[in-house]
Chains A and B, each alone.
Chain A
């Protein structure tokens, strides 16, 4: 029990100070019916560090790690190279093992990082302000929909078919309980997203329109007209970004008129981690800030006039107004926000633009190569680092067969939309700076074989 410092004689001395005969005396309030006399039945006892390490390593080896194979998976989680210093810095004990900065005088490190993160995210997404992170993109997306309801006092949200289906699922789950009306649709193999349909669907009941950029099939489109249409009906435009690296190359949603921009920051600094922890991004215009959920860090001064940072506007939060709270968010994802922020700082504007360019050029070349394969059709010619291929046969078994050969070929739309027959041949392929030309060749020949 290497993590427990008390010795048997410490325990005896402490019990004497307390005036208790045995440890059981301290559990006297537990009713008889609920007391356990010894260690829980059927569970093993403690193990050495070496034994635990062997056990966990054996489990890890049963997985096909992205870096070990030609890898093309995206759809809301992206593999990028993360500089070694990022992981080193987040493992500094003073960051890693700190709590929420409730005592700002001794938490300026975390608080300044939160302030820098808020500024970086606001600039990247093209908005005035951002919060200090949420759980992940999908929960941030739902929070944005509820925020639009509070701002507009309307309950109908229109979700684009290009929005990540898991994000739609999360929103559908929550709407069942809150009474929000969600208008949803499926994506189609059209070269353009469903912007015109969305514009036509906006009415006087609409609180917001939610679009993803780039969307689930990798498509990108100018959302200025959609923003105008929303504003004409006094609805808000919510943009969702699951691949923030794209914003190093393409216009930000804020520039095109989005009122709230949410996203998933995993792709910068955080790593794949089998789905979490990730880092939810949330930004909006200045006039909406008091309706924004989540933690906020603000600048202030200390008693000597020195600049310092504190958690602020917490009257929106759970611990002050209880049932009147804007949301029940308690934790955010500050350590992941630090990872993302440090990665952005290392990249800087010049680095982010170069990274984005590398991604786009590599994806563009890969799309051309894969489209040469018989039985493969490129769905759209406007994308960033992810694109959809329409195969001549169902994609899900192809993906499985290729995984057996050690190639992670992409995400089949059948996995994301098991009930949509018309999408079953779709394969979404993501290409980043970590993808090599050999990887693309390997995938191309494997597809050729599988589709022959």
Chain B
């Protein structure tokens, strides 16, 4: 087999090689794309500048003398480079993205247009407050929706992402306990069904973490939780709906028990899209919950971020919420940036980020919220739950569905690799789905289910898409159950075959290094 190490250099097909090999490594519309370091040069630029007038240098002897090593491309080359790369990505714009717990729904383009209005996009965060009242109004309106929809008391807008929101909530709990002189409460209880970030967050905030087991039905074991509560427990971090896709019916009892024992309840709100408009977390006794705006309110995830994670607080935790705050005083919006500025923020635990948070995400989320309204958001929850249950019931005869008997799922359906023959597992089903043109579901998470496959269709998928996915999913699952060896080597039709992740971790290559001169001479680079 010809080894095309670089991914793009011409390779001459060898005799007897599969007829699929091409001279260029390209396949019709699917084009190989080298790195910018292989095609650009430090002399090329895709930006025209005016001639700099001569002027006094005040760099004080710090002028850069060495080459940086940044290759440039002309505009057509750059547009082609990134456009070609983009075509090697799966995205929600291309098809169903059933990643459970990650919630990939349609990203309306109106959101993008609104976020790009110069009044929002071209606005400096330190603009005098009188000159950016409209931006504060956006924050204030979004905050009003978030507080009202969750039935909570207040909201901190600044956290930059879901995990950052978790940190915010946990720090508020720490601050509240410290204010009561309860420094001894060092333990946060984290059920097994919680998101993976939860224990990491607790540890990062200086807590120690103890697991609470799940019941066989995939819920928090209430008795085990109650038994562990005590004077050393700061509270619980719970995910509801949980990562098994189930609503915690004992949520109120959990909150009451934790409160009675002097602790606080943190809820991971990543799955709020399943209950928005139908359940207010405030009615369940929750003290703090982050909301992933990109999940529930459709801001694009961009290949891994930015996210945005505002945190809603109960009355008990509100005084400890982080700065800054946008407040309305009469007709004016003001920015409260200091603990000393207002009596009711005197116990704030401080600032978490440089400015006001992810404003670009706020405009997108508010646009989406206004588009849906209260009635539409309720429909969002209903359709996401309906779609997930439809998949659960359409697949449970083919794949093991460990909690199918526990009742309806919420927004995501969970399956396991039980019943697959020896040597076949979840990863094979996932890679098989790629060849069918679908992004795989979340795999091997949550940890409570062996070989977990967590499927979340969301509300923006049509019945026709779901039916097509179900057919493909059944087809692949049946191939795996039948021991079809072809799916062990899937994907076959993706831009890349299975990638060697062990090699990447054992010998990390994290930056491009120019090849040795001799090597370069042997294989001339495209000029």
**Within the assembled complex, what's the spacing in Å between the Cα atoms of A295 and B59?**
35
Whether B163 and A105, one on each chain, are in contact in the complex, defined by CB atoms closer than 8 angstroms, is: no
Q: Complex Cα distance A71/B36, Å?
A: 34
> Once A and B bind, how many residue pairs between them come within 8 Å at the CB atom?
737
Query: Is there a chain A Cβ closer than 8 Å to B50's Cβ?
Result: yes
Which residues of B have CB within 8 Å of A358? 49-50, 52
Instruction: Report the minimal beta-carbon distance from B233 to chain A, rounded to whole angstroms.
Output: 16
Whose C-beta in chain B lies nearest to the C-beta of A167? B354
- Which residues B271-295 have CB closer than 8 A to chain A? 275, 277-280, 283-284
A264 to B307, CA, bound (A): 17
* A392 at the binding interface (Cβ < 8 Å): no
Given known contacts A220-B59, A403-B130, A433-B49, A276 and B359 CB-to-CB distance under 8 angstroms: yes
The 0/1 profile, CB within 8 Å of B marked 1, for residues 172-188 of chain A is 11001111000000000
Q: Please, which residue of chain A has its CB at the minimum distance from the CB of B250?
A: A31
Chain B proximity mask over A22-53: 1 for CB below 8 Å, otherwise 0:
01011111110111101110111111010111
Q: Is the CB of B37 within 8 A of A97?
A: no
- Known contacts: A105-B494, A345-B46, A365-B55. The answer to whether A251 contacts B70 by CB under 8 A is no
Residues in A neighbouring B86, C-beta threshold 8 A:
89, 92, 94-95, 109
Give 4 new A-B contacts, CB below 8 A, not counting A302-B497, A348-B41.
A64-B131, A105-B499, A176-B350, A300-B509
User: Known contacts A109-B89, A308-B496; is A47 also within 8 Å of B371 by CB?
Assistant: yes
A106 near B434 (CB under 8 angstroms)?
A: yes
Interface size bracket, B side: 35 or more
For residue A291, CB closer than 8 A to chain B, the reply is no
Do A274 and B110 touch (CB < 8 A)? no
- In the assembled complex, which residues on chain A have CB atoms less than 8 Å from the CB atom of B75? 83, 85, 346
Decide if B123 touches A53 in the complex (CB within 8 Å): no
CB neighbours (8 Å) of A33 from chain B are 252, 283
* A87 and B112 alpha carbons, distance in the complex (Å): 11
The one of B91, B99, B123, B505 in contact with A63, judged by C-beta atoms closer than 8 angstroms, is B123
Residue A435 CB within 8 A of the other chain: no
Stretch among A9-17, A153-161, A199-207, A227-235 lining the B interface: A9-17
A313 within 8 A of B: yes
Min CB–CB distance A414 → chain B (angstroms): 12
Assembled-state Cα–Cα distance A87/B366 (Å): 21
B382, A116: Cβ atoms closer than 8 Å: no
6 A-B residue pairs with Cβ-Cβ distance under 8 Å, sorted by A, are A26-B386, A47-B371, A57-B117, A95-B303, A100-B303, A164-B354
User: Contact partner of B385 among A27, A71, A91, A124, CB < 8 A?
Assistant: A27
Which chain A residues (212-238) contact chain B, with CB distance < 8 Å?
220-222
**A328 in contact (CB, < 8 A):** yes
Cα A252 to Cα B66 in complex, Å, equals 9
Task: Report which of A113, A172, A345 forms a contact with B40, defined as CB distance below 8 A.
Answer: A345
The interface residues of chain B lying within 8 Å CB-to-CB of A6 are 383, 386-387, 459, 462-463
Q: Do residues B304 and A334 form an inter-chain contact, with CB atoms below 8 A?
A: yes
Q: What 6 pairs across the A-B complex have the smallest Cβ distances?
A: A348-B72, A335-B302, A275-B355, A60-B119, A62-B134, A93-B93
Contact A68 B118 (CB under 8 A): yes
The reply to whether the CB of A312 lies closer than 8 angstroms to some CB of chain B is yes
Min Cβ gap B11→A in Å is 10
Question: Would you call B97 an interface residue if the criterion is a C-beta within 8 Å of the partner chain's C-beta atoms?
Answer: yes
- Pair A47/B373 contact, Cβ less than 8 Å: yes
Cβ of A306 under 8 Å from chain B: yes
The secondary-structure label for the interface of chain B is loop
Contacts of A53 in B (CB 8 A): 110, 113-114
Q: A35-B278, A323-B209, A335-B300 are in contact. Are A300 and B305 (CB under 8 A)?
A: no
What A residues does B357 contact at CB under 8 A?
275-276
Interface centre among A248, A328, A403 (most CB of B within 10 A): A328
B378-420 interface with A by 8 A CB criterion = 378-380, 382-383, 385-387, 389-390, 392-394, 407-408
Docked complex Cα distance between A327 and B160 (Å): 15
Closest to B196 in A: A319
Interface residues of A in 320-360 (CB under 8 A from B): 320, 322-325, 327-336, 338, 342, 344-355, 357-358, 360
A399 interface residue (CB < 8 Å to B): yes
Give the residue name and chain of the B residue nearest to A324 (CB).
B203
- Inter-subunit contact B59/A354 (CB<8 Å): no
**Contact across chains for B164 and A60 when beta carbons are under 8 A apart:** no
Are B303 and A110 interface neighbours, CB within 8 A? yes
**Are the CB atoms of A408 and B124 closer together than 8 Å?**
yes
Binary per-residue interface labels of chain B (133-144) against chain A in the complex, 1 for a CB within 8 Å, 0 otherwise: 111011000000
Give bound CA distance, A100 to B89, whole Å: 11
In the complex, which residues 280-328 of chain A have their Cβ closer than 8 Å to any Cβ of chain B?
Answer: 289, 295-310, 312-315, 318-320, 322-325, 327-328
Contact call B356/A274, Cβ cutoff below 8 A = yes
Given contacts A29-B246, A97-B92, A276-B359, contact A39 B499 (CB under 8 A): no
A388 near B: Cβ within 8 Å?
Answer: no
Counting chain A CB atoms within 10 Å of each CB, which of B166, B308, B408 scores highest? B408
- In the complex, what residues of B have CB within 8 A of residue A220's CB? 59-60, 62
Q: Given known contacts A169-B350, A301-B500, is B47 in contact with A351 (CB within 8 Å)? A: yes
In angstroms, how far is the closest chain B Cβ from the Cβ of A156? 17
